């Protein structure tokens, strides 16, 4: 049996497809990152980029898992006077939901932080501190839902601005596409913050996320095509 | 002074130089086109031949170097890698 959270009835399952699409794009970029690292092991940024996208892809897998609830059968007994009654009941396990949500948030934030660290180049001590703070804020704060989406929003905004600045410096079209895709994914985080007010925000957030990842796919295809074009020149 | 070329850049320059000459080049021409010293060129050449990216051929008493399909595919992959690097700012 499937139980879905946040989604309006007509959107049930469609968000899973959007998340699966996001996993595919993230996985693809991660795979190519690993492959290019094997070609040029001197540039460690490839492996960090691959790890960052892999962490984000894994986080979406856990996001999908939290849509599923485990139902299990229990045999219970009750004593009523002289009689002992034995019967089957169905109970809901929330363990998958709790672990799934926690891993979804932790992996996503670690992924975004890894990507951020490629460009910001923080010192080791700063990195350890940041990871500690990310874990603490994800797990211990009472409003962890808002903290998670706001932190993701900040990381994504910094990354989108970084890609935009890179585009302004070199006027390289792929940088512009990348900045736009990260900009859209950043925007989706704002929608997710307001889910508790109205579940339409979830639909809006998911569609913007889909557009963001679609643009990321277009960017990636352009990278591969430009590589081929260069050969023909 | 320009940035020192990495090993992968040198390999790419060599293979591209062969491609630009229609897939076949004389070793001395390759040395000049890829901007390499003689000993350096020999080391890279041995490596590229062992990896089957290029092969040697004799034509009218001259030695020629030919880029293989594997070598061409490698050039494409390397160029895509450079584009990837440029896009993601790695």
pLDDT given at position A71: 59
A98-117 confidence digits (pLDDT tens): 788 888 999 999 999 999 99
Looking at the partner chain, which of A42, A223, A230 has a beta carbon nearest the beta carbon of B87? A223
In a domain, B23, yes or no: yes
* Local confidence band at A1 (pLDDT 50, 70, 90 cut-offs): very low
Chain B, residues 5-64, CB within 8 A of chain A, namely 6-8, 19
- pLDDT tens readout for residues A116-154: 999 988 889 988 998 888 888 777 777 778 888 999 999
ipTM for the assembly: 0.77
- pLDDT for residue B60: 82
pLDDT-based confidence at A3, cuts 50/70/90?
A: very low
Per-window interface: A 158-217 vs B, CB < 8 A: 162-163, 166, 170, 172, 174-175, 178
At A212, the pLDDT band (50, 70, 90 cuts) reads: very high
pLDDT tens, A149-186? 999 999 999 999 999 999 999 888 999 999 999 999 99
What pLDDT score does A116 carry? 94
CB A62 within 8 A of CB A121: no
Asked if residue B24 is part of any domain, the answer here is yes
Indicate whether B1 belongs to any domain: no
CATH of residue B72: 1.10.10.10
Answer whether residue A222 shows pLDDT above 90: yes
Which domain, by its residues, includes B25?
A: 7-87
Q: What is the bridge-based pairing of β-strands A83-93 and A70-80?
A: antiparallel
- Domain assignment present for residue B33? The answer is yes
pTM for the whole thing? 0.81
**pLDDT at res. B41:** 87
Instruction: Report pLDDT digits (tens) over A71-96.
Output: 566 677 777 777 777 777 766 667 77
Instruction: Give the DSSP H or E segment for B57.
Output: strand B54-59
Contacts of residue A79, Cβ cutoff 8 Å, sequence gap at least 6: A85
Q: How far is CA A196 from CA A140, A145, A193, B23, in A?
A: 20, 10, 8, 63
Interchain proximity A174–B86, CB inside 8 Å: yes
Q: Is residue B28 part of a domain?
A: yes
pLDDT of residue A220: 94
pLDDT at A145: 82
Please indicate whether residue B40 or residue A219 has the higher confidence score (pLDDT): A219
Number of cross-chain residue pairs from A and B with Cβ atoms under 8 Å apart:
66
- Is there a domain that residue B78 lies in? yes
- Rounded to a whole number of angstroms, the distance from the CA of A150 to the nearest CA of chain B is 24
Residues of chain B falling short of pLDDT 50:
none
| Whether pLDDT at A214 is above 90 | yes
8 Å CB contact of A32 and B90: no
Distances (CA, A) of A33 to A38, A170, B12: 9, 22, 19
Count structural domains, chain B: 1
Residue B2 lies in a domain: no
Question: Which position has the higher pLDDT, A24 or A232?
Answer: A24
Residue of A nearest to B9 (CA): A40
Q: What is the pLDDT of residues A43-52, one digit of tens each?
A: 899 999 999 9
Using CA coordinates, name the residue in chain A closest to B79. A227
């Amino acid at each position: 049996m499937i139980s879905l959270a946040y989604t309006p009835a007509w959107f049930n399952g469609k968000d899973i497809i959007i998340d699966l699409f996001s996993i595919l794009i993230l996985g693809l970029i991660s795979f190519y990152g690993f492959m290019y690292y094997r070609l040029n092991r001197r540039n460690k940024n490839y492996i960090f980029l691959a790890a960052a996208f892999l962490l984000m892809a894994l986080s979406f897998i856990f996001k999908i898992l939290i849509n599923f609830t485990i139902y299990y059968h229990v045999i219970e007994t009750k004593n009523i006077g002289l009689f002992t009654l034995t019967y089957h009941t169905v109970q809901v396990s929330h363990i998958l939901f709790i672990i799934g949500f926690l891993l979804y948030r932790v992996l996503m934030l670690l992924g975004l932080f890894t990507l951020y660290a490629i460009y910001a180049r923080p010192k080791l001590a700063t990195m350890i501190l940041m990871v500690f703070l990310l874990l603490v804020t994800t797990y211990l704060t009472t409003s962890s839902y808002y903290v998670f989406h706001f932190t993701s929003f900040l990381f994504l905004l910094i990354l989108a601005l970084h890609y935009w600045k890179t585009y302004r410096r070199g006027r390289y079209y792929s940088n512009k596409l990348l900045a736009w895709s990260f900009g859209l994914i950043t925007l989706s985080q704002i929608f997710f913050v307001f889910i508790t007010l109205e579940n339409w925000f979830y639909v809006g957030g998911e569609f913007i996320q889909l557009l963001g990842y679609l643009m990321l796919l277009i960017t990636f295809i352009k990278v591969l095509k430009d590589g081929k074009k260069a050969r023909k020149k | 002074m320009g940035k020192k070329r990495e090993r992968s850049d040198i390999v790419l320059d060599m293979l591209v130089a062969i491609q630009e000459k229609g897939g076949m080049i004389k070793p001395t021409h390759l040395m000049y086109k890829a901007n390499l010293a003689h000993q350096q060129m020999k080391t890279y050449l041995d490596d590229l031949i062992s990896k089957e990216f290029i092969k040697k051929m004799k034509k009218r008493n001259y030695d020629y170097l030919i880029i293989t399909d594997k070598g061409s595919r490698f050039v494409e992959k390397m160029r895509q890698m450079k584009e990837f690097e440029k896009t993601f700012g790695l």
